[in-house]
Amino acid sequence: MNKIEITTEFIKLDSFLKFSGAVSMGSEAKMLILDELVKVNNEICTQRGKKLYKGDIVEFNGESYEVV
């Protein structure tokens, strides 16, 4: 599992995908989220503005990312 450190209280899902390097562009993150290809804490998430906090797990394309 990839651990991605944030320095703020939370980060939005679309920003997290770009920040973590899972996607290269924000528009790519938006489409993947809307196409139900991203899970947050083991549930499909279609809210690109969903706030992620430390301890949340994001799954995409066979990879897992933990917000730390």
pLDDT tens, 3-57? Answer: 999 999 999 999 999 999 989 998 999 999 999 999 999 999 999 999 999 999 9
Domain locations in the chain? 2-67
- Among 3.40.50.261, 3.40.1350.10, 3.30.70.2190, 3.10.290.10, name the CATH number for the domain at 2-67: 3.10.290.10
Q: Give the number of other Cβ atoms within 10 Å of residue 2's Cβ.
A: 12
pLDDT, residue 38, reads 97
Per-residue confidence (pLDDT) for residue 13, from 0 to 100: 97
**Per-residue pLDDT at 26:** 86
Give the whole-angstrom CA distance, residue 68 versus residue 56: 8
Give CA–CA dist 10/16, Å, rounded: 10
pLDDT the model gives residue 56? 98
In contact, 2 and 61? CB cutoff 8 Å = no
pLDDT of residue 7: 96
Supply the pLDDT for residue 5: 96
Contacts of 27 (CB under 8 A, 6+ apart): none
